[in-house]
Structure 1
Amino acid sequence: MKRVIPVLVLSVAGLIPVWRYEPSIGGTTASTTEPVTSPSASASASSGTVVKGTLINTSKGPLQVQVTFDGDKITAVKTLQQPDHPQTEAAVPKLIAETLTAQSADIDTVTGATITSDAYEDSLQAAIDVAAKAASASPSATASTSTSASTAPSKQTVAGTLVNTSKGPVQVQVTFEGDKISAVSMLQQPNHPQTTAAVPVLIEETLKAQSSKIDTVSGATITSGAYVQSLQAAIDAKGA
């Protein structure tokens, strides 16, 4: 029995290296699956600049937008706050779609949601101004902006005269790109079915004619006359 004991001890001792190295396999696996922050992941996370617009209080409730920029391009817009109102809920998707198309705050007011539209545009413009100011702080961005500005026509938005009619007030806002009329929106218009039907026709005719020399819409003579008068005032103001 005394000879057997050393043999058992040596056998057990021979197994010790195996037991000591076995956990290292599990340790390697854990280290390979541990999350690592890489330069590419950081760059991906910071590729877009996110800017919050001003919080605008309205009679319907507060409204605030958040805008995501990729360079100078608006890639996404969402509302952080908005009035809990059916007209607002219907208007916001249209306003966002218009923003992504226009790449600016020069967008049309959604009929029936004037308060929401105005607040949205104010908050959006504030975000755009903040992003532009931040971009101008970068020398490369400044060079890029000056280059694009020299090749692209200047954009100017002018409000026409407020014209009071027996149906209600009419006032247009005209956006010019250089000498071209690129957009027309209604700041005020009578709440009347004939006006609602006539305004899109008048705007379409304006964009085609590039002037106030357009036809009166049948059945909406009063609105047409006031529209033309306010439109001409905006054209004259732009040229001044």
Structure 2
Amino acid sequence: MKRAIPVLVLSVAGLIPVWRYAPSDGSTTTAEAASPASTPSASAAAGGSSQVVRGTTVETEKGPVQVEVTFDGDEITAVKLLRQPDHPQTEAAVPQLVAETLEAQTADIDTVSGATITSDGYRKSLQAAIDAAAESASAAPPSSSAAPSASAAASQVVAGSAVDTEKGTVQVEVTFEGGTIASVRMLRQPDHPQTEAAVPQLVAETLEAQSADIDTVSGATITSEGYVESLQAAIDAKG
């Protein structure tokens, strides 16, 4: 019988600094091992020219801000908010910040009126991602255009099945690096505080166990079971 792990421990700030979690568009959340700006990962589909980089998590008065930037060569093609303050002004400001980034192709963009704090955090996280991508590009050895690099070929993203529960639909997306589960992202989850509190713990246990054989989180049993089922489906699909 699996043990139940209280959600309460997640409410103690600072006790789990190594996990990052927050909504990006209201229905999608991401959680994974924390680092400064993440090392860019090349896309095998793009022959190694496309990469996704996560900026640093910037703590602000309104809440943490973190971006994920997609580069196609040197060009910024997409920016996604992994973490942002839960505030109407922030939600209204994000599309404008992203649009300005895609136009400017730098972090030198204007502050959005009414969302100054979020704008500052966004620029810092964005600049960290840009710096990480540039550093990776300068350090990477020339690659043959005939085939993707070994790291690109070894990276694989698999979506698990969508599991309908009493609380709502649960679906995960798993990134594998070779045979290792590198990160887990929530594509769909119940809109409930207990679920939001449970997800980082479920992801943390997954990364540690490297399997779907993880504990149910107390207070979020239904979500935990849906998570495990979707996770196992992703692992099975990878083969």
TM-score normalized with structure 2 length? 0.47
Q: Which one has the largest radius of gyration?
A: 1
TM-score (norm 1): 0.47
More helix by share: 1
Structure having greater relative contact order (Cα 8 Å, sep ≥ 6): 2
Instruction: Write 1 or 2 for the structure with the bigger share of strand.
Output: 2
